[in-house]
Chain A
Amino acid sequence: MSSPPATARQLGLLSCHDCHLLATAPTSAAHDHLVCPRCGAPLHERKPNSLARTWALVVAATILYIPANVLPMTITSTLGTVQVDTIMSGVIYFIHSGSWAIASVIFIASIFVPLAKLLILVTLLLTVQFRSHWHPKDRTALYRLTEVVGRWSMLDVYVVTILVALVKLGAVATIEAGPAAVYFATVVVITMIAAESFDPRLIWDALEEDA
């Protein structure tokens, strides 16, 4: 097993997604209903329809990202005046009030991370589709990064949840969640599922098959 290093697929083995047991794949093409002998999870050589599913989810998230940023995230009523805030105007508010740390936290979590995540997923999808040999290790690391970081975009949704609970001071001030909150939460959920449905082993398959 020491040299040359082999992959599970080259040796006809299936690695269970859930418990990582290595199982021998049957020689017939009937892989459809195999389950892991140890944990009972369905066994696949690669995640099924990984590219098509991930593409569909990335496109959907990109479309929803627009209303999430354009529409109001919160609607604040203070003594008769109504103020409408988008994600970006929330960031600008913190910059003006001098809270740079909070401004950058919200900017990173709500604007930078979702965009970067979509760009990374598109890059991964394209390079896999064109069977690129470009920096496979770095692309795998990028994939792991999107998996870890993507969830943090929920931050603004939680801030809104806390604000609507707290700011109900009779007639003085109230805050309501705007439609962007719904779009934004949907973007986060969809990109999380997209990252989950992408199979990073596809990055390495192209290298082996062309070798």
Chain B
Amino acid sequence: MHVVACHDCDLLNQFPDKAAATLLCARCGAVLYRHRPDSIDRSLALTLGALILFIVALSFPFLAMKSGGFVQETRLLTGIRELWRQQLYGLATLVLLTCVLVPLGQIAGLLYLLAPLKWDLPAPHAIRVFRLLRHVAPWGMLEIFMLGILVALVKLGKMATIVPGISVFAFGLLVLVMAAAISALDPPLLWDRLDRRR
């Protein structure tokens, strides 16, 4: 028999023997487990997709603004560089972390975890990497940046012509693929396979 304590109210809940679709805490309703079929294959494939999309988003033109005779072309990182130039070093670092470094780290970490599990290769400290991934997850904010792009487009759309580049579309796809990669994970399965007592 397998028992797990609810992370929100500490109640002990019994895991059903057969893989149920979803297990909710009997007392507070927290989601304790969600069944993910083919978890390793799926999230590995989606993570590779996210890596490619991220490289595209970083290398191609992001947004361009045309007004009068002027054209201002930007890359994904232009805003961060501009904040840095305006001496807002903390703010620039925060945006760089939440929109670039943390998501890239998540992709790298997932590849490091999943590829060795898929092909039975050794991966030293894999369980530490997984713990770290769980802790940094709230700090990856790609989807919020995407909403920021839409708001900025509406805001500037009235005073100038904004031309979205390939990078914007890649970024939009990246948001979806990244979310799918993370929700395809099956944490109990991973904890079990990475168990440091084995």
- By a CB distance below 8 angstroms, the chain A residues around B46 are none
A9 within 8 Å of B (CB atoms) = yes
Given A102-B155, A140-B30, A166-B72 in contact, is the A204-B67 Cβ separation under 8 Å? no
Contacts of B7 in A (CB 8 A): 15, 17, 20, 201
Task: Decide if B9 touches A165 in the complex (CB within 8 Å).
Answer: no
Distance in angstroms from A71 CB to nearest chain B CB is 13
Complex contact B9–A158 (CB within 8 A): no
- Interface residue count for B (Cβ, 8 Å)? 67
Number of A-B pairs, beta carbon distance below 8 Å: 198
Contact residues of B between 139 and 156, Cβ < 8 Å to A: 139, 141, 144-145, 147-149, 151-152, 154-156
Asked if B98 is an interface residue, CB under 8 A from chain A, the answer is yes
Which of B37-45, B49-57, B77-85, B107-115 is the contact stretch?
A: B77-85
Could you say which of B10, B155, B196 contacts A201, with CB atoms under 8 Å apart? B10
Interface size on A, residues (CB 8 A): 67
Interfacial chain B residues near A192, Cβ < 8 Å: 138-139
What residue of chain A has the Cβ atom nearest to residue B148's Cβ?
A158
Mark the stretch among A61-69, A125-133, A147-155 that contacts chain B. Answer: A147-155
A37 to B198 Cα, complex, angstroms: 11
Query: Assuming the A-B contacts A20-B4, A20-B5, A102-B154, are A151 and B127 also in contact, with contact meaning beta carbons closer than 8 angstroms in the complex?
Result: no
Whole-angstrom CA separation of A106 from B145 in the bound complex = 13
B12 touches A166 (CB 8 A): no
* B181 within 8 Å of A (CB atoms): no
Interface centre among B10, B94, B195 (most CB of A within 10 A): B10
Contact with A along B141-174 (1 / 0, CB 8 A): 1001101110110111011101000000000000
| Given A137-B28, A164-B86, A204-B10, 12 further pairs, Cβ under 8 A | A18-B131, A18-B134, A38-B127, A39-B127, A39-B195, A137-B27, A156-B148, A158-B149, A164-B83, A166-B156, A177-B83, A204-B11
15 CB < 8 A contacts A-B: A1-B12, A2-B14, A5-B27, A8-B10, A38-B127, A38-B195, A40-B128, A102-B155, A140-B30, A157-B95, A157-B148, A158-B141, A164-B86, A176-B86, A200-B8
